Amino acid sequence: MKILTLGVLLAVCASLAAGETTGGQAVEPSFNPARAMQYTRQVVGFGTRPIGSANHKKLESYILAHLKGVEIAEDAFTAETPEGKFPVRNLIAKFPGSKDGIIVIAGHYDTNYPLRNTGYVGANDGASSTAILLELANQLRGKKRDGYSVWLVWTDAEEAVKQWSAADSLYGTRHLADLWQKDGTLKRIKALIVEDMIADADLNIEHEMGSTPWLEALIFQAATELGYQSHFFARSISVEDDHLPFVQKGVPSADMIDLDYGYNDVFHHTPQDTLDKISAKSLEISGKVIMKVIELLDHDVRPTVKD
Ligand SMILES: [Zn+2]
């Protein structure tokens, strides 16, 4: 993804600091951080995983092997890039609910392409997003959902192959957003949340200014209800990420991202993006907040946001 601008803290956060609650008994969402960390370790173990690589292929099989018994859909196509043609494959796991509508949680599983020969493994940028979705799948599978359907999407080809631009980036989600527009899925999406770089040991999820304001406010509400608000929204930034193609099509969408990875973001897109920089605790915070957001969405909680 690419950072566009830095902004100041918005009224959104301040006005929600008190946090309306859902009124019910607060129940800690279920999420197994040790298992999520283990998945992250295993994904990193495949080595660098850029599109078109053998390791990428192995990772696709690994993800699917963890989803046995779950309804899976695929969006596979060939992307034309400045480095030639590549197979791209978005993987979608569907957990049906009782209510009409879909909550989408998405994160990319490919790793940076230009760094493919540097030993780059993307522990935070690629592996953590893959792993958190696998653990969310564990929490959702085999349970009757009294709420909206939840679709988990392992997005592909998020990374640029040469240099980030509108044409060289987000290959997977641009294709998926078009597909879902054509088949009518987009209209059924209540909310779409992208998680990216969510395992930094020093976790500071930003307020992303291109995201849908009420959904950002809902993320902050969920974090506040769980006591994690100090890890959220200390700064506001504008980021191009996998949520963008959906924002552009009017889907309520948000990007959960910590784009300050190491002092001055020094570990981001470098071979230093390794397991020692991330933590199970951060996976837990991100994972539980997502579970809480799903619960709030199921109850149709929608914070009012001042402009
Ligand atoms: Zn990246």
C-alpha 270 – ligand 1 centre gap (Å): 10
Compute, in angstroms, the gap from residue 112 CA to the centroid of ligand 1.
Answer: 6
pLDDT at 1 over 90: no
- pTM, 2 dp: 0.93
Helix (H, G, I), strand (E, B) or coil at 107: strand
Distance from residue 79's CA to the centre of ligand 1 (Å):
18
Q: Compute, in angstroms, the gap from residue 297 CA to the centroid of ligand 1.
A: 28
pLDDT digits (tens, 9 = 90+) for 59-91: 999 999 999 999 999 999 999 999 999 999 999
Q: What is the pLDDT of residues 175-201, one digit of tens each?
A: 999 999 999 999 999 999 999 999 999
Q: Taking ligand 1, which is a single-atom ion, which protein residues have CB atoms under 5 Å away?
A: 125
Q: Which residue has the tokens 């370790």?
A: 41
Burial of 211 (0-12, 13-18, 19+ CB in 10 A): buried
Angle at 240 between CA 248 and CA 124, to 5 degrees: 135
Measured in whole angstroms, the distance separating CA 145 from the mean position of its chain's CA atoms is 21
- Give the list of residues 6+ apart from residue 188 with CB closer than 8 angstroms, or none: 100, 101, 102
Q: Please give the CATH architecture assigned to the domain spanning 2-298.
A: 3-Layer(aba) Sandwich (3.40)
289: CA distance to ligand 1 center in Å? Answer: 22
Distance 76 CA to ligand 1 centre (A): 21
Dihedral in degrees, nearest 10, Cα atoms 250, 74, 132, 138? 120
Q: Is the dihedral of CA 58, 63, 66, 72 positive or negative?
A: negative
Supply the pLDDT for residue 226: 97
CA of residue 124 to ligand 1 center, whole Å? 9
pLDDT for res 307:
62
107-141 confidence digits (pLDDT tens): 999 999 999 999 999 999 999 999 999 999 999 99
